[in-house]
Amino acid sequence: MQNRRVLWVLAVVITLASAVYQRMTGPTYPAKGVVTLGGQQMKLRLTRTHGGPGDQPIVIAAPDRLIAGEVAWRRYPTQDEWTTMPLVRTNGELRAALPHQPVAGKLEYQVHLRLGQEAVVFPERPAITRFRDAVPASVLIPHVAAMFFFMLFATAAALGALARAPQARRDAYIGMGLLAVGGFVLGPLMQYIAFGDWWTGIPFGWDLTDNKTLFAAVAWAAAAWQMRGKRDARVAIIAAAVVTLVVFMIPHSAWGSQVDWSTMPTAAAK
């Protein structure tokens, strides 16, 4: 019993670390940083995704009323001229909004801040944001939960196989079931709601989120085949878990749905 608890603690730690890494390295993680103007440090946070109708808000905490600035943006990826808009001061904050774009449309943008003769640009490399339709919590939360617990049970199965624990096969089957629901039912449903496409991985595209789910499924299908007839399939379970860990270290939402701006010759702005 004690060994089983240790295995589960390790599985939770590994899964949480993987989830945090995936989140922080993904293309939708906010661009964060600190800039200094007039000896004052300002923490900036620029969002890189916008779901639902309306423009994407930009909010910068700037209590010093002498700080001003603007936002420069353009469609991504294009060579459009940069469009600038002022940051408007409201109750100790500088605010602006990026114009709403069609589903899967991307913009790149930076904020330019000034205080007297000093000026800073953030981020140095423009942040890229993608627009989508809003996904209801009733779909999003079960999807995220299913994929998280799939990773957890896959890791637990691998650790159990390493320790020759009898529950390794059970944990592997539970993980496969969660992958089927989270990756191939709720995942495509969420993508369809957000972007209008059920599947953009192989053979229809190169969306890394879809493809890494596909590769994980192939690895676990191979493990399931090896587990037939009550075989322990320790090596196959460990291999499938390693494949899962590796592919899920790839940033989430990379190479995802993206508007072909060549079919939209004019910028989609208000």
Tokens representing residue 226 in the block: 């090896």
The answer on 175 and 92 residing in a single domain is no
Query: Final residue of a domain: which of 77, 98, 132?
Result: 132
Question: For residue range 229-238, what is the model confidence (pLDDT) as tens digits?
Answer: 888 889 999 9
Instruction: State the sign of the Cα–Cα–Cα–Cα dihedral 175, 177, 178, 183.
Output: positive
- Judge whether 191 lies within some domain: yes
Contacts of the segment 241-245: beta carbons below 8 A, 24+ positions apart: 241/154, 241/155, 241/157, 241/158, 241/161, 242/158, 243/215, 243/216, 243/219, 244/151, 244/154, 244/216, 244/219, 244/220, 245/14, 245/18, 245/151, 245/154, 245/155
Q: What is the pTM of this model?
A: 0.84
Any idea what the Cα angle at residue 108 is, between residues 106 and 130, rounded to 5°? 30
The answer on 106 and 60 residing in a single domain is yes
How many of the other CB atoms lie within 10 Å of CB of 35? 16
User: What amino acid is encoded at 243 in this protein?
Assistant: V
User: What amino acid is encoded at 30 in this protein?
Assistant: P
Q: For residue 62, what is the domain's CATH number?
A: 2.60.40.10
The answer on 152 and 70 residing in a single domain is no
Q: What is the DSSP string of 42-83?
A: EEEEE--EEESSSPEEEEEE---TT-EEEEEEEEETS-PPPE
The answer on 96 and 75 residing in a single domain is yes
Q: For residue 119, what pLDDT is reported?
A: 94
Q: For residue 270, what pLDDT is reported?
A: 41
CA 157 centroid distance within chain: 25
CB 121 within 8 A of CB 31: no
Question: For residue range 12-21, what is the model confidence (pLDDT) as tens digits?
Answer: 999 999 988 8
CA torsion 163-167-170-175 (nearest 10°) is -50
Half-sphere exposure of 253 (CA within 13 A, CB side): 21
The answer on 165 and 96 residing in a single domain is no
Residues of the chain with pLDDT under 50: 268-270
- Judge whether 256 lies within some domain: no
Tokens representing residue 73 in the block: 């943006």
Number of folded domains that form the chain = 2
Q: For residue 223, what pLDDT is reported?
A: 95
- Judge whether 43 lies within some domain: yes
CB 208 within 8 A of CB 251: yes
- Judge whether 53 lies within some domain: yes
Three-state secondary structure call for residue 225: helix
The answer on 212 and 94 residing in a single domain is no
Domain range enclosing 152: 2-26+136-247
Q: For residue 1, what pLDDT is reported?
A: 57
pLDDT-above-90 percentage for the chain: 67
